[in-house]
Amino acid sequence: MSHCIAGDKATGRNQGWTLVACILASSLSFVDSSVLNVALPAIRNSYSAAAQEVQWVVNAYLLPLSALLLLGGAVGDHYGRRLLLLLGTGLFAAASLICALAPGINTLFAARAAQGIGAALLLPNSLALLNAAFQGEKRGRAVGVWAAAGAGAAAIAPLVGGWLVGSVGWPAIFYINLPLALGAIALALRFVEESKETGSAHPDYAGALLATGALGAGTYGLTLWSAMGHLTNAAIIALAIGAAMLGGFVLTEYWRAGRAMMPLALFKNRCFSALNLLTFLLYAAFGAAMLLIPYVLIASGGYSPVQAGLALLPLPMLMSSLSPKMGALAARSGPRMLLTAGPLIVAAGMMLSRLVTPGASYWAGVFPMILLMGTGMTIAVAPLTSSVLGSVEEQHVAMASGFNSAVARTGGLFATALLGTVLASTGRQLFAGFDFAMYVAAAVSTIAGVLALTMLSAVTLRKGA
């Protein structure tokens, strides 16, 4: 029987610095995800890049992060979580430096992929180290501080990134990762105790390889489809390869059973399956909106990068301040109605994209859309997370959390792959494409709300309804 070694004997002083180290490391991913969108127009202009290439600036990062997130946690369990945190943070820092110095777009793609691998290693292990270092109520408070710090970093990042893009240049958004990474590494080496699971199974490398190939081929096929406006032979072949590798992944996970990266037995749980499908749909819709809104405002709306960052500010402010209250409300009344209302309100906000027109004021155009979207996500996010964790047995909570995070990022990955036609447009055509894409996103978000209303009605969550 496996058990955790080290980590759980951390002193009070070491616990505090362990928390700081984990916050600094995980902030790399939170900051990078939110700051890049305000820099995309500048990156495109710098390299004279096509729309398809702009998509891959985002997806080269999301692809390995989505596919390897579960593997990163399993490798940390087996070889040591502090070791993997250090490796992931070091890789992220080195890749960030290459991103800033990239002489061409292909170098940027490769460095972004390396960032994604680094994030897949550091994210699950930063949280696992906190679980090992803290016990009882202290663990809950530490995880809460960790989550709040990530939300705060994501809120500030677009403002800082917008200022850097406008005053220094887009490479500076990658330089800001270096002090965060160096601080995390120094503190981890000095204060964080190693933690691993003795007797844990060897990581599921075959499953990770097949998942990465399936996502990569599928994303490439969707990107070609959206860029060309129709299904080319190359897109069909890529999608077929992706489907075949997905089938291979499912077979591999079936054969490995309890040793799989994603045990298929969990999907016999109707609630778990429904919640993850809801996650995929909601985050696909939301990811598309969060990519398009700052891009459209900067490229054709006359906004500076700083103004675009400010335009988005109400959203993270709402989510970081009110999400804990939504989690508490879900615990009392059950998550079903919140998970229904949240996506529907997000959809209503997306439908207001028609107010965003050339020359429209922020308060009459962008603000109502952002306010409704932020309100809807605030209502949904905490209940969704707690419901996913409550839908599985205690021994599967960490795996369920990691898988749900991967599903959310996969939704954003596929959404970005389908935005080629919009990103290739300019002027009023860009606004027209933006409206159409937001209407589609609203429809997807609505389906997520209906899914919560219908599929969660007959199930009982261990910690929820």
pLDDT digits (tens, 9 = 90+) for 203-223: 889 999 999 999 999 999 999
- 87 found inside a domain: yes
Predicted pLDDT at 463: 43
For residue range 377-395, list pLDDT tens digits in order.
Answer: 999 988 888 888 788 887 7
Residues 322 and 281 in one domain: yes
Q: What is the 3-state secondary structure (H, E, C) of 175-194?
A: HCHHHHHHHHHHHHHHHCCC
Distances in whole angstroms, Cα of residue 206 to Cα of each of 115, 246, 389: 22, 12, 26
Question: Is it the case that residue 358 has pLDDT exceeding 50?
Answer: yes
- 125 found inside a domain: yes
Domain hosting residue 425, numbered range: 268-465
- 4 found inside a domain: no
Give 29: exposed, middle or buried? Use CB within 10 Å, 0-12, 13-18, 19+: buried
Residues 352 and 455 in one domain: yes
| pLDDT band at 11; cut points 50, 70, 90 | low
Residues 142 and 220 in one domain: no
Give 279: exposed, middle or buried? Use CB within 10 Å, 0-12, 13-18, 19+: buried
For residue range 115-143, list pLDDT tens digits in order.
Answer: 999 999 999 898 889 888 887 778 777 87
Q: Which two structure tokens, joined as six digits, stand for 111?
A: 């460095």
- 75 found inside a domain: yes
Residues 137 and 211 in one domain: no
- 239 found inside a domain: yes
Residues 167 and 208 in one domain: no
Sign of torsion, CA 31 37 39 40?
A: positive
Residues 175 and 216 in one domain: no
Residue 122 maps to which CATH number?
Answer: 1.20.1250.20
Question: Is it the case that residue 4 has pLDDT exceeding 50?
Answer: no
Q: How many domains does the chain have?
A: 3
Residues 379 and 437 in one domain: yes
Residues 241 and 317 in one domain: no
Residues 448 and 327 in one domain: yes
Give CA–CA dist 393/391, Å, rounded. Answer: 7
| pLDDT band at 460; cut points 50, 70, 90 | very low
Domain boundary, last residue among 216, 243, 260:
260
H or E element at residue 12 = helix 12-35
What are the DSSP calls for 396-444, one per residue? GHHHHHHHHHHHHHHHHHHHHHT-HHHHT--HHHHHHHHHHHHHHHHHH
Residues 245 and 339 in one domain: no
Question: Is it the case that residue 314 has pLDDT exceeding 60?
Answer: yes
Question: Is it the case that residue 109 has pLDDT exceeding 60?
Answer: yes
Give CA–CA dist 7/166, Å, rounded. Answer: 43
Per-residue pLDDT averaged across 46-51, rounded?
92
Instruction: Give me the chain's average pLDDT, please.
Output: 88
Question: Is it the case that residue 309 has pLDDT exceeding 70?
Answer: yes
Residues 225 and 173 in one domain: no
Per-residue pLDDT averaged across 65-86, rounded?
90
- 5 found inside a domain: no
- 2 found inside a domain: no
Domain boundary, last residue among 235, 260, 285:
260
Predicted pLDDT at 7: 42
- 3 found inside a domain: no
Of residues 152 and 272, the one with the higher pLDDT is 272
| pLDDT band at 8; cut points 50, 70, 90 | very low
- Give the global pTM: 0.88
Predicted pLDDT at 153: 81
Residues 358 and 417 in one domain: yes
